[in-house]
Each structure stands twice: as C-alpha cells, then as structure tokens.
Amino acid sequence: MIKLVLYSQTPNLAPGLTIVRLSLHVLAATIWVGGQFVILGLLPTIRGFGDTAPRKVAQAFGRLSWPAFWILVATGVWNYLAINHSHATSSWNVVFGIKMVCVLAAGVGTYLHTKAASPQRRGCSQESPPSPPSPPWYSASQSPARPSSRGNGSAWSTRSGKRRFEKSLHQGALGAEY
C-alpha cells in the first residue's frame, strides 16, 4: 500500500541567524569558487592586455576573494557548531573530513600561488597559449578584436583597450585611486 503524506502546515523559515549563516556561507562560496572559474575563463583575454595584466587582475580579484574565503571558513565553523553531532553517521564524518581537506588544500594552494615570485612557479607560462584555429566559415574581417573603423575614430584597438583596462584596474567603483 502506498501512503501519501500531505503537509497541511504552512512552510516556515528557519530562525533568523540560521538564514544569515547559510546565506553568508553560500554567498562567500559563490565569490570564492565562482570567481576562480570566471578568472580562468577570462585569462586568455586578459593576457591580450599586456604582460602585467594577469597579475593586476589577480591582485584585484584577491581583494574580493580572500575576505570571501575567510567568511566561508568562519561560517563553515559556525555551521559545524550549529548541528547536533550525536546524529552524525560515519559516512557524514568521512565526507566532512574530505571536504575540510579540500578547503585546506584550496586555501594553502591559492596562498602559495599568490606568493610565488615567477610565472613558472605560479603554474603560468610567460607565453600566451596559441589561439585555436578559426573555423573555415569565420573570416579574419569578422574578428571582434579589431572591428573596422566607422570613420569617427571609434574603432577598437588593442592599445586603447589596454589603456582603458589598466585605468580601470587603478580606479575603484567610485573612481578612487588605489
């Protein structure tokens, strides 16, 4: 016999501090992990702005990601202290231990990566990777890197793009110099 359980109670939110704790934890994880994937995806483009651009972008990202990492650690400890450990199974403990090893490895690895003196030690090469070949139907005239000039001096160029990019790295959201 199949028993259907219907809940007639209205849904309730968790207590206020639980919502804050979990929301901060998820937000910090989004910034820390998601930001790394965004930087990884943008790296080929960033390298096109010059030899110092990847380092400057990494430093700018670090100003956002390290506070997020420490919020992630703090809310993770808070999450751990907020649960009842008497009901934790051995498999939960194993998964939790593996997760803590991964968090520790990510934090230490990222710290060592940021403190490395040379690109080779950071795991980067000084040479840009070769561009993938263009598909046969894509002509060089369609390249988004240098669209044709419209006669009003508004054509994009790598040099002017680099200047705008470097200027934006040195200014905050409100235009203040760092």
- Provide CB contacts within 8 A for 172, sequence distance 6+: 178
Q: Mind listing the pLDDT tens digit for each residue in 55-72?
A: 899 999 999 999 999 999
Distance CA 94, CA 59 (A): 35
Residue 177 has pLDDT above 50, yes or no: no
pLDDT of residue 68: 95
What pLDDT is stored for residue 45 in this prediction?
Answer: 94
Compute the CA torsion angle 111, 117, 120, 125 (nearest 10 deg): 100
Query: For the whole prediction, is pTM greater than 0.75?
Result: no
Q: Are 30 and 67 in contact (CB under 8 A)?
A: no
Compute the average pLDDT of residues 64-93: 91
In whole angstroms, what is the distance from residue 113 CA to residue 62 CA? 11
Instruction: Tell me what pLDDT residue 168 has.
Output: 59
1-10, 84-93, 119-128, 142-151: which range is least confident on average?
142-151
d(CA 24, CA 21): 5
pLDDT band at 166 (very low <50, low <70, confident <90, very high): low
% residues pLDDT > 90 (the chain):
40
Indicate the average pLDDT of the chain. 76
Reported as a pLDDT band with limits 50, 70 and 90, residue 103 is very high
Question: Is pLDDT above 70 for 133?
Answer: no
Specify whether the CB–CB gap between 16 and 101 falls below 8 A: no
The per-residue pLDDT for 135 is 62
- Dmax over Cα atoms in the chain, in whole Å? 78
Encode pLDDT of 134-156 as tens digits.
Answer: 666 655 555 455 444 444 444 44
Higher pLDDT, 22 or 138: 22
Structure-model confidence comparison of residues 23 and 140, the more confident one: 23
pLDDT at 173 over 80: no
Residue with structure tokens 């070949």?
133
